[in-house]
Amino acid sequence: MIYALFLIWVAVSSSSAQQFYDPSGCSSDTSNQGSRYTCDSAQQPCRTFLVYRANQHFGHQNLLNISALFQVESDELLELNNIASPLETLKRGREVLVPINCSCSGEYFQASLSYIVSERTSFPEIACGVFEGLLKSLTLLQENPSQGTDVETGVKLDVPLRCACPGGFARFNGVKYLVTYPILEGDGITPLSMKFSIAPEDLLAANHLEPKSTVYPNTTVLVPLKSDPVINLNVPDSPPPTPGFLPTITVEKTKNTKLRKLYIAGSVVGFFLIVVALLACGFYVKAVKKWKGERLQSFTDRNSVLSCSTARSSPRSGQTGRSSTNSCLSPDLLAGIKFFLYNYGIEDIKRATNDFNEDTNKIGEQVYKGLIDNESVMIKQMRFEDTRQVIDMHSKINHVNIVSLHGVCYGENDFAWSYLIFELPTNGCLRNCLSNQANRLSWRRRTQIAFDVATILHYLHYCIFPSYAHMSVNSRNIYVTSKWRAKLANIGSTLAISASTMNDKVVTVNGLVAPQNPMNEAASVKVDVFAFGVVLLELISGKEAAQGTFLKDSIRFLGGGANEGGCFEQLRSFIDPCLKNEYLIAEALCLAILAKACIEDDPLRRPSMDDILKVLGRMV
Instruction: Indicate the burial class of 369 (C-beta count within 10 angstroms; 0-12, 13-18, 19 or more).
Output: middle
Q: Confirm whether 250 is domain-assigned.
A: no
Q: In terms of DSSP bridges, do strands 405-410 and 342-344 run parallel, antiparallel, or are they unpaired?
A: parallel
Q: How far is CA 457 from CA 114, 165, 453, 607, 611, in A?
A: 41, 39, 6, 13, 12
Q: What is the mean pLDDT of the chain?
A: 81
Q: Confirm whether 380 is domain-assigned.
A: yes
Q: Could you give phi then psi for residue 578, rounded to 5 degrees?
A: -65, -25
Q: Which of 395, 423, 451 is the last residue of a domain?
A: 423
Interior angle at CA 157, CA 156 and CA 160, nearest 5: 150
Q: Which of 171, 194, 225 is the last residue of a domain?
A: 225
Q: How confident is the model at residue 238 (pLDDT cuts 50, 70, 90)?
A: very low
Alpha carbons 68 and 89: distance in angstroms, whole number: 15
Q: How confident is the model at residue 1 (pLDDT cuts 50, 70, 90)?
A: very low
Say yes or no to pLDDT of 293 above 70.
no
Least confident of 119-133, 146-160, 212-226, 593-607: 146-160
Domain CATH for 354: 3.30.200.20
Closest of 469, 474, 535 to residue 503, by C-alpha: 469
Q: How confident is the model at residue 239 (pLDDT cuts 50, 70, 90)?
A: very low
Whether the ω angle into residue 466 lies within 30 degrees of 0, i.e. cis, is yes
Q: Output 301 or 441, whichever has higher pLDDT.
A: 441
Alpha carbons 117 and 522: distance in angstroms, whole number: 40
Together in a domain, 406 and 456: no
366-371's contacts with Cβ under 8 Å and 24+ in sequence apart are 369/424
- Three-state secondary-structure class, residue 557: helix
Together in a domain, 368 and 514: no
Interior angle at CA 88, CA 85 and CA 89, nearest 5: 160
Together in a domain, 478 and 592: yes
**88 contacts 29 by C-beta, under 8 angstroms:** no
Q: Confirm whether 479 is domain-assigned.
A: yes
Q: What is the DSSP string of 59-122?
A: TB-SHHHHHHHHT--HHHHHHHHT-S-TTPPPPTT-EEEEEEEEEEETTEEEEEEEEE-SSSEE
Together in a domain, 198 and 211: yes
**534 contacts 474 by C-beta, under 8 angstroms:** yes
Q: Confirm whether 208 is domain-assigned.
A: yes
What integer pLDDT is reported at residue 330 of this predicted model? 46
Instruction: Indicate the burial class of 243 (C-beta count within 10 angstroms; 0-12, 13-18, 19 or more).
Output: exposed
Together in a domain, 538 and 593: yes
Average pLDDT over residues 8-37: 73
Q: Confirm whether 234 is domain-assigned.
A: no
Tens-place pLDDT, residues 411-448? 766 556 889 999 999 999 999 999 988 888 999 999 99
Together in a domain, 457 and 366: no
Together in a domain, 355 and 456: no
Q: Confirm whether 256 is domain-assigned.
A: no
Alpha carbons 330 and 333: distance in angstroms, whole number: 5
Average pLDDT over residues 352-359: 92
Count the domains in the chain: 3
Alpha carbons 9 and 167: distance in angstroms, whole number: 11
Instruction: Indicate the burial class of 564 (C-beta count within 10 angstroms; 0-12, 13-18, 19 or more).
Output: exposed
Q: Confirm whether 172 is domain-assigned.
A: yes
Q: Which amino acid is at 277?
A: A
Percent with pLDDT over 70 in the chain: 78
The segment with the largest mean pLDDT, out of 36-45, 259-268, 437-446, 490-499, is: 437-446
Tens-place pLDDT, residues 76-93? 999 999 998 989 999 988
This prediction has a pTM of: 0.48
Q: Which of 225, 245, 272 is the last residue of a domain?
A: 225
Q: Confirm whether 14 is domain-assigned.
A: no
Least confident of 54-68, 90-104, 524-538: 54-68
Domain CATH for 470: 1.10.510.10
**263 contacts 222 by C-beta, under 8 angstroms:** no
Together in a domain, 207 and 154: yes
Tens-place pLDDT, residues 313-355? 444 444 433 333 333 444 444 444 444 688 898 899 999 999 9
Neighbours of 271 (CB within 10 A): 10
Say yes or no to pLDDT of 588 above 90.
yes
What integer pLDDT is reported at residue 53 of this predicted model? 93
Q: Output 316 or 588, whichever has higher pLDDT.
A: 588
What integer pLDDT is reported at residue 299 of this predicted model? 42
Together in a domain, 193 and 63: yes
Together in a domain, 432 and 577: yes
Together in a domain, 407 and 434: no
Domain holding 387, by residue range, is: 342-423
Tens-place pLDDT, residues 473-505? 999 999 999 999 999 999 887 555 444 344 444
Say yes or no to pLDDT of 304 above 60.
no
**79 contacts 115 by C-beta, under 8 angstroms:** no
Average pLDDT over residues 550-560: 73
Q: How confident is the model at residue 292 (pLDDT cuts 50, 70, 90)?
A: low
Alpha carbons 419 and 305: distance in angstroms, whole number: 21
Least confident of 128-142, 186-200, 227-241, 338-352: 227-241
Least confident of 399-408, 431-440, 500-509, 514-523: 500-509
Least confident of 4-8, 145-149, 335-339: 4-8
Together in a domain, 436 and 410: no
Say yes or no to pLDDT of 513 above 70.
no
Q: How far is CA 209 from CA 22, 51, 214, 276, in A?
A: 10, 20, 9, 53
Question: Which residues, other chains included, contact 310 with Cβ-Cβ below 8 Å and sequence gap of 6+?
Answer: 323, 325
The segment with the largest mean pLDDT, out of 121-130, 227-236, 240-249, is: 121-130
Bridge partners (DSSP) of residue 320 are 313
Q: What is the dihedral of CA 187, 191, 197, 198, to 10 degrees?
A: 80
